[in-house]
Amino acid sequence: MNDSRYQKLNESDEIDLVELVKNLWKKKLWIILSAFVCTTIAAGYAFTAKEQWTSRSVVVAPKVANLGDYLLFRGEYASILDIKDFSQDKVSESVFNDFKTALFSRSLKEAFFFQSKWFDTYAAKNVNSEEARLKLLSNLVDKNLIVTVPDPKKDPNAIGVNVSFSAETPKEAQDVLSAYIQFVNQWVVIQNKKDFLADISVVRSGLEIQKNKIKQDAENARQIQLENLITALDIAKSAGIKDYSKSLSGNISLLEVSLGDTRVPSTDSKLSDGTYLFMLGEQYLQAQVNTLKNAPLVYPLNYYNIEKQANLLSTLEKKVEKEGAVSGYYYLSEPDYPVIKDKPKTLLIILAAFLVGLILSILFILTKEYYKGKNE
């Protein structure tokens, strides 16, 4: 008995399914028309919506050739100051770190667009107020101009920095991205040049201070020596001591006396305080005074080394001011010309709209038939 009831239910289900298919077939034109309408609307959107194309680039640390004169000048600077830990890799890494930081800078992104003729044209075409212009700029900075560093956990082999820009045409995307990278590079080069010149200026100032101190100390020492000789000369004249050979006592050797006029003050000599200096005699002391007054001041060797460093830095400074082309990066992948647009995905939109039209029309028919059968 149960088998008979199940058989009747199955037959009923089969009849309902057949009726459903028949009803749908009867309404096939309506279903097709609905799908066509949805497809037409979607196609109208897909073919008229603004397109988006994205150009991409990958930059890494600059090579020796990219650094140009900057690397040579940094090497010369290190040589002048005897900097031991100088290396090309450190210079490259330092410049690229500055470049990478600048790429992420929101202020630089905004500055780039503000000076860009492309942005002026783009804004004039899309907005008509200053407030809308600023919103458009913010949208470009946040959503279109993207800078990322690969996650080593997700991609251990990835290196460098990824930079991309999205625009309405492939050419615009490529051109604006290239222009932005060049804009950032120019800014970084200028800042590095300013910092380098500032470093040179600070070091030169320090060297000048050292030179002046050595010079002042030498002048002070000569003045003290001259004053000691003049005092001794006055004493010798007053005492009537004409010649040291006739005045030396047995307690002071000629060597000790001779040391007095060349090493004043000298803690190792009995003449260091000028007590016995007058015993050199009037003639000798007068000759020493005249010589000391007329002879050019001779500075210690350190003074001339410092002067040489300062002169070399001055020459380097002039060369840095005329620095040639420098690049703070190397293209691992230059800005590409996109061949596949990001959106709208025309084929996908049309296909999805067609399927939605079919499904909605079928659901509508089924719902209508359900309530019709229920009322009967």
376 residues of the chain, pLDDT tens digit each: 445 444 444 444 444 666 666 666 766 777 777 777 777 776 666 555 577 889 999 999 999 999 999 999 999 999 999 998 899 999 999 999 999 999 999 999 999 999 999 999 999 988 889 999 999 999 999 999 999 998 878 877 878 999 999 998 999 999 999 999 999 999 999 999 999 999 999 999 999 999 999 999 988 888 888 888 888 888 888 878 887 644 454 444 444 444 444 444 434 344 445 567 777 787 888 888 888 888 888 888 999 999 999 999 999 999 998 888 899 999 999 999 998 886 766 677 667 766 777 677 777 777 766 666 555 5
pLDDT of residue 23: 65
pLDDT of residue 143: 92
Tokens describing residue 187:
């800014």
Residues 309/83, Cβ–Cβ less than 8 Å: no
Sequence letter at residue 195? D
SS3 assignment, position 143: helix
Does 249 share its domain with 357? no
Q: What is the CATH number of the domain that holds 170?
A: 3.30.1890.10
Q: Where are the alpha helices (DSSP H) in the chain?
A: 2-26, 28-48, 64-67, 69-80, 88-104, 106-114, 117-126, 130-139, 170-239, 254-262, 282-294, 301-321, 346-375
Residues 80/200, Cβ–Cβ less than 8 Å: no
Does 222 share its domain with 268? yes
Rounded Cα–Cα distance for residues 333 and 56 (Å): 8
Query: Which of 303, 318, 333 finishes a domain?
Result: 318
Rounded Cα–Cα distance for residues 73 and 79 (Å): 10
CA of residue 32 relative to chain centroid, distance:
61
Does 207 share its domain with 334? yes
Does 178 share its domain with 221? no
Does 275 share its domain with 198? no
Does 102 share its domain with 164? yes
Residues 103/163, Cβ–Cβ less than 8 Å: yes
Rounded Cα–Cα distance for residues 190 and 211 (Å): 31
Sequence letter at residue 316? L
Does 63 share its domain with 97? yes
pLDDT of residue 20: 66
Does 194 share its domain with 86? yes
Considering only CA atoms, give the Rg of the chain: 46
The tokens 């050595």 sit on which residue?
214
Q: What is the pTM of this model?
A: 0.71
Rounded Cα–Cα distance for residues 344 and 48 (Å): 9
Backbone angles phi, psi at 224, to 5 degrees: -65, -45
Rounded Cα–Cα distance for residues 231 and 213 (Å): 27
**Which residues lie closer than 8 Å to 293 by C-beta, 6 or more apart?**
226
pLDDT of residue 3: 52
Does 248 share its domain with 274? yes
pLDDT of residue 24: 64
Domain count, the chain: 3
Does 210 share its domain with 224? no
Rounded Cα–Cα distance for residues 264 and 277 (Å): 10
pLDDT of residue 237: 83
Does 20 share its domain with 59? no
Tokens describing residue 240:
């009537």
Sequence letter at residue 130? E
SS3 assignment, position 40: helix
SS3 assignment, position 286: helix
The tokens 């100051």 sit on which residue?
81
The Cβ-side half-sphere exposure at 241, using a 13 Å CA radius, reads: 22
Does 152 share its domain with 171? yes
Cα angle 235, 241, 242; round to 5? 120
Residues 42/346, Cβ–Cβ less than 8 Å: no
Q: Structural domain of residue 40, as residue ranges?
A: 1-49+344-376
Residues 315/270, Cβ–Cβ less than 8 Å: no
Residue 375: count of CB within 10 angstroms of its CB: 6
What does DSSP assign to residue 272? T
